[in-house]
Amino acid sequence: MKRNKILVVDDEHLIRWSLEQNLKKQGYEVVTAGTGEDGLRLAREEQPDLVLLDIQLPGMSGIEVLEKIKDYDEDIIVIMVTANGGLDTAVNAMRLGAYDYVSKPFNLDELSIIIKKSLETSDLKREVARLRTETKKSVPPNIIGTSPAMHYLMAVLDKVAKSEASTVLVQGESGTGKELVAKWIHYSSNRSEKPFIAINCAAVPATLLESELFGHEKGAFTDAKATKKGLFELADGGTVFLDEIGDMEMGMQAKLLRFLEDRSFRRIGGGRVFTVDVRIISATNKDLQKSIEEKTFRNDLYYRLQVIPIFLCPLRERKEDILALANHFVQVYNKDFNKKVQGLSDVAEKKLMGYNWPGNVRELKNVIERAIILGSDDTLLLDHLPLEIVTKVAPQISTTPMINGFSLPPEGVDIEEVERELIRQALDITEWNQSKAAKKLNLGIDAFRYRMKKFGFLK
Ligand SMILES: Nc1ncnc2c1ncn2[C@@H]1O[C@H](COP(=O)(O)OP(=O)(O)OP(=O)(O)O)[C@@H](O)[C@H]1O
Ligand SMILES: [Mg+2]
């Protein structure tokens, strides 16, 4: 049987040496590197199955090495080795495609298990991916939510998808699912076998946007070395998603309006008129009415775009959807990170419900992703949620005065009451894990238990 090859990248000689001895004993082939640059070179030359990569390296950082390895071959498994406490970097690494992370100082037995498991699951994943590409079909993405607002939305989307309606405007705060909705419409319509092309109007400079959308003829301007088709032409029969339309520059708005009249255009520098059949779905988180008043958005374009207007509710106005979405993302990230998390603890669920979600569904998705990466049990606890969600005291629950930073409110406070409240919150956050709670308040376990007794939390 082929032996698996492991590359160890760490600047500490002793760690490299001990890992090499240990892993060889377990039957792996091992190569080592002391810098990120060497590590990257060996990743290419030796084609290892797995890389154990220290995050803190002199010169090129572990994160940079990770990105480059993944660019080069995304199948190589990378396990990050982090200094204690570098959790956010570890989370970032997982987002960039690391399989898992271990904190220094690590236990060799635990590390062996992670390595073994990762090599097994990666074989399995490769097989699944192969089967999936064979049966890949363009299907609409999952839209989760059972609130009345979502029921209504789904009914509208269904009608829009089946209709001939050629312009749709999706409005909603950032992270409410505008792009998701656009894709759903496309992949549920009879255009689904044709292209769905998205372009972010805010990210492309105005001069370039025109050529992106309409294309150009060879020689139309200095950089136009060859004829290029624009997105409208490429998406013929399908859908173009104009994201952040509220940021489109006025001159470009006029050109878009002209195109929308009869779906015909000329490439820049060209004479021939093309006519295409594309559905235009545009989206914005801006208040376009206000932009019109401020004269940054054309009134006539607004009416042309919003033949069918769709408004997406912020998450805080449809709290019924929070837990359904959270559980959906738990399943999604279980798959991505090979975890078997069942769900959230009751207290953690309450905190999610009590939070305002300024970043809407995207924020919730990121929160769950982070929690799955950090959690090792089968239930996600408060400890795995970001501080701003955990410390949010829902006004209706709070009976004690809010501790406003560390400043003393003019009416004064009862210091004992404040102490009691902090003890309660620390217990709450850690779900009554006393040693964790003590740590949060920087107290020794005895001092903490003394206070628990004093305030009646402990008999
Ligand atoms: N109802 C939903 N069900 C499942 N996933 C959702 C839902 N709503 C949003 N999402 C997910 O949340 C993330 C953010 O959604 P999306 O990118 O569509 O938001 P957006 O409104 O375009 O945000 P922005 O204005 O910041 O571009 C995506 O990963 C999307 O899949
Ligand atoms: Mg978007």
User: What integer pLDDT is reported at residue 1 of this predicted model?
Assistant: 59
**pTM over 0.75, yes/no:** no
**Distance from the alpha carbon of residue 298 to the mean position of ligand 1, in angstroms:** 27
3-state SS, the chain, equals: CCCCEEEEECCCHHHHHHHHHHHHHCCCEEEEECCHHHHHHHHHHHCCCEEEEECCCCCCCHHHHHHHHHHHCCCCEEEEEECCCCHHHHHHHHHCCCCEEEECCCCHHHHHHHHHHHHHHHHHHHHHHHHHHHHCCCCCCCCCCCCHHHHHHHHHHHHHHHCCCCEEEEEECCCCCHHHHHHHHHHHCCCCCCCEEEEECCCCCHHHHHHHHHEECCCCCCCCCCCEECHHHHCCCCEEEEECHHHCCHHHHHHHHHHHHHCEEECECCCCEEECCCEEEEEECCCHHHHHHCCCCCHHHHHHHCCEEEEECCHHHCCHHHHHHHHHHHHHHHHHHCCCCCEECHHHHHHHHHCCCCCHHHHHHHHHHHHHHHCCCCEECHHHCCHHHHCCCCCCCCCCCCCCCCCCCCCCCCHHHHHHHHHHHHHHHCCCCHHHHHHHCCCCHHHHHHHHHHCCCCC
pLDDT over threshold 60, residue 19 = yes
pLDDT tens digits for range 402-455: 444 455 655 666 777 778 888 888 888 888 889 999 998 989 999 999 888 888
Ligand nearest to the CA of 327: 1
User: What integer pLDDT is reported at residue 152 of this predicted model?
Assistant: 93
pLDDT over threshold 50, residue 401 = no
Share of the chain above pLDDT 70, in %: 92
**Distance from the alpha carbon of residue 149 to the mean position of ligand 1, in angstroms:** 16
User: What integer pLDDT is reported at residue 240 of this predicted model?
Assistant: 96
pLDDT over threshold 60, residue 137 = no
User: What integer pLDDT is reported at residue 416 of this predicted model?
Assistant: 78
- Give residues (CB < 6 A) around ligand 1: 142-145, 172, 174-180, 285, 325, 361-362, 365
Ligand nearest to the CA of 173: 1
**Distance from the alpha carbon of residue 438 to the mean position of ligand 2, in angstroms:** 42
**Distance from the alpha carbon of residue 181 to the mean position of ligand 2, in angstroms:** 10
**Distance from the alpha carbon of residue 100 to the mean position of ligand 2, in angstroms:** 29
Ligand nearest to the CA of 364: 1
Atom 12 in ligand 1: residue holding the nearest Cα:
362
User: What integer pLDDT is reported at residue 427 of this predicted model?
Assistant: 86
pLDDT tens digits for range 29-88: 999 999 999 999 999 899 999 999 999 999 999 999 999 999 888 889 999 998 866 778
pLDDT tens digits for range 326-372: 999 999 999 888 889 999 999 999 999 999 999 999 999 999 999 99
Q: What is the mean pLDDT of the chain?
A: 88
Atom 16 in ligand 1: residue holding the nearest Cα:
177
Give the position, in ligand 1's atom list, of the atom nearest the Cα of 173: 25
pLDDT over threshold 90, residue 300 = yes
pLDDT over threshold 70, residue 265 = yes
